Amino acid sequence: MQLETPRLLMREFVESDWPAVLAYQRDPRYLRYYPWYDRTEADARAFVGRFLEWQEEMPRRRFQLALALKSDNTLIGNCGIRRKCGNEWEADLGYELSSQHWGNGYATEAAAALVAFGYRQLGLERISSWCIADNSASSRVLERLGFRQEGRLRRNEFFKGRWWDTLLYALLRDEWENDAANPDR
């Protein structure tokens, strides 16, 4: 599977992507909202390996795509949409980006393409997502896409010696279709 946006090529992961993944996952800014303190070669290989396994699912329920800049094919992150277990109408959305590329709208661009894929090709009714409440940049991505905050789970994640709240978001098919600001509807 492959999707294109104005600036990104969204493609299937290949085994040789692990060094690029490791490079951005080792960055302390990236690690801030994850339970890991560091990432190793084995971690990055396993991370990419999981997505390679997902490509073999029949029927396929999870699509995690590598994000590469069209300008020079540099891998800068990933974005995925994964159907929920036990139903065909709901999926969750996730994304991560190299901190060197934050603030350029790439996460929003990639996530918008996967939301459109979810509603058009997968026939979804609802797409949800969540983020650490302190991660305001991730919240802004979801809100730009039209996701609505549905709740705040207080102290439901524990890592790095502290409790973290998470924010729950969702976007319904009809909200996406009726959003006048949505060029992909």
Question: Omega before 59 cis (within 30°)?
Answer: yes
8, 67 Cβ separation under 8 angstroms: yes
Q: Which alpha helices (H) appear in 17-128, and where do they start and end?
A: 18-25, 28-31, 41-54, 106-120
- Judge residue 2's burial from the number of C-beta atoms within 10 Å of its C-beta, 0-12 exposed, 13-18 middle, 19 or more buried: exposed
CA dihedral over 132, 138, 140, 146, signed as positive or negative: negative
pLDDT for 5 equals 97
Q: What is the pTM of this model?
A: 0.93
Nearby residues of 152 by Cβ (< 8 Å), 6 or more positions away: 133, 165, 166, 167, 168
pLDDT for 184 equals 56
pLDDT for 182 equals 61
pLDDT for 84 equals 84
Q: By three-state DSSP, how is residue 48 classified?
A: helix
Per-residue pLDDT 10s for the chain (185 aa) are 999 999 999 999 999 999 999 999 999 999 999 999 999 999 999 999 999 999 999 999 999 999 999 999 999 999 999 998 888 899 999 999 999 999 999 999 999 999 999 999 999 999 999 999 999 999 999 999 999 999 999 999 999 999 999 999 999 999 999 985 565 55
- Kindly list the distances between the CA atom of residue 21 and the CA atoms of 108, 131, 157, 158, in Å, as whole numbers in the listed order: 19, 20, 24, 24
pLDDT for 150 equals 97
pLDDT for 183 equals 58
- Judge residue 144's burial from the number of C-beta atoms within 10 Å of its C-beta, 0-12 exposed, 13-18 middle, 19 or more buried: middle
Q: For strand 90-97 and strand 126-132, is the pairing parallel, antiparallel, or unpaired?
A: parallel
pLDDT for 181 equals 54
